[in-house]
Amino acid sequence: MTLSSNNMSDPMPSPLDLAQQALSDGLARVIQDYRPGYHIAPPAGWMNDPNGVVYFRGEYHVFYQHYPFEAKWGPMHWGHAKSADLVHWQHLPIALAPGDDFDRDGCFSGSAVVCGDTLALIYTGHTWLGEVGDERAIRQVQCLATSTDGIRFVKQGAVIDSAPHDAIMHFRDPKVWKEDGYWYLIAGARLGDRPLLPLYRSTDLFTWEFLDYTASGSAGDGYMWECPDLFPLNGRDVLLYSPQGMQPQGYERLNKYQTGYRVGRLDSEWHFTGGPFIELDNGHDFYAAQTFSGADGRRLLWAWLDMWESPMPTKAHHWCGMLGLPRELELRADRLCVYPARELTALRKAPLPSTPWWDGPGTRWVQQVNGDMLEIHVHLDLLGCTDGHLGIALRCSADGREETLLYHDASLRRLVLDRSHSGAHTTGQRSVAIDPGQERLELRIYLDRSSIEVFDENGRFSLSSRLYPQTDSLGVKLLASGNGGRVSIPRAWSLASGWL
């Protein structure tokens, strides 16, 4: 694959030029109050799914769904950022803009791979066949764009120009990987209200052979599986996807849409057989996760740290959307374990004073730990904790009106993230079950201006949510009610900016 030259004689600005100019013009209107300090977010305009995440020529590249003209969803472009260390990022020019016959109304999600000395983007070209927004009449094809410098991309057109069944219109989000000398591509598809995952094979990224539907849904599995990802881990195969249309059940699947996985095996006939669907993150805002194999072989993951139809007050600030922290995945038995990428320790400033064990009752301000860009380690000693709540309050206002609560509920045996008083338009609780025999919880919490991400130190769960408190709501409290148990903050740091 080679990079073709652009026609420099054409005086009309290209769609890419117009998009880049709109992004530049939008920077002056951006209000910084909620903008993250060390997460990936668009310079201005809208962001949703991470697209290609890839390691190319010694640097990590993250692409994302982007609309640079306004802070709302629109004809999708591909935004682009890169980093040498997974911590310090810089924005690059917009990589893809819609406008050709095959992607006239959007360059939808996809993936990135390295082929020789070329960086290749494989994405869904989207076209409205009727009125804009009418999903009953759309055309979606899988497209290729290539670059030899990792910055400027040349579209190669549609390389899969039809779905494997004539009745399929929703056909998107290709994930591509190389194995045993072949390129493989898995995509999400919808036949009626049945989700399907077609699998393809190629030798050159241009010509693709349909192999089979590697997996499909049945009653209760939703109607569409977006952003599928199939990868090996510890001798097993993991199918990661984002289903639409699954119904809530108890404490599970409370968001409009979910991201989760099944652990199993892809057989020689290209069929995946696996265990039950398990949500990957239990917070309010986590969707469209995508993984790749890092330079050292670790399986790394990014996700969109928002949710469709959720509160997005930053639209009024002329930007919207952010990605979660890069995460490491490990497989333990039939469960994925999730950890913040180890490189993130480079963000730490001087350590803040530790807070000794405290057993209540009531609440206690932690004067030495406060801020909106923090990493806080919280330990909960559950021994003898028979009732009440035990945990921490974050982003607290001085008058007590704003706070984000993270606590163990002894009667429910659940860890609860409560953002009922977390600021503008936020509400609701999310939680994870805690083993009744567990005597200690060790948590790692990241705050970044308008987000919280909570990780179990042993990788068993995470909870990720957006928050929109007042900028001066910076306090931290310990909380303990009921009988037994105690809480401490053994380690904490203020965090530096992640932007170059």
Gap between the Cα atoms of 49 and 242, Å rounded? 11
List, in order, residues 6 or more apart from 101 with CB less than 8 Å away.
none
Gap between the Cα atoms of 476 and 358, Å rounded? 14
* Spatial strand order in the sheet of 414-421: 362-365, 475-480, 389-396, 403-409, 414-421, 429-433
Number of residues in the chain: 500
Query: Whole-angstrom distance between the N-terminal and C-terminal Cα of the chain?
Result: 32
Reduce the secondary structure of 58-107 to three states and give it as a string.
CEEEEEEEEECCCCCCCCCEEEEEEECCCCCEEEEEEEECCCCCCCCCCE
Catalytic entry in 10, 17, 25, 49: 49
Bridge partners of residue 121, in order along the sequence: 112, 145
Reduce the secondary structure of 456-489 to three states and give it as a string.
ECCCCCEEEEECECCCCCCEEEEEECCCCCEEEE
485: left (phi over 0), alpha (psi -120 to 50) or beta: left
Residue 49 catalytic? yes
The residue among 77, 80, 108, 82 whose CA lies nearest residue 14 is 77
List, in order, residues 6 or more apart from 153 with CB less than 8 Å away.
95, 96, 119, 121, 145, 146, 147
Which residue's structure tokens are 């995460």? 327
Cβ atoms < 10 Å from Cβ of 435: 9
How are the residues of the chain apportioned to helix, strand and coil, as percentages rounded to the nearest 5? Answer: 5, 50, 45
Q: Which helix (H) or strand (E) element contains residue 130?
A: none
Prior bond of 93 cis (ω within 30°): no
The residue among 75, 25, 83 whose CA lies nearest residue 46 is 75
Gap between the Cα atoms of 282 and 290, Å rounded? 17
Cβ(378)–Cβ(392) below 8 Å: yes
Cβ(65)–Cβ(109) below 8 Å: yes
The DSSP call for residue 367 is T
Encoding tokens for residue 147?
């670059």
Cβ(184)–Cβ(200) below 8 Å: yes
Catalytic residue list: 49
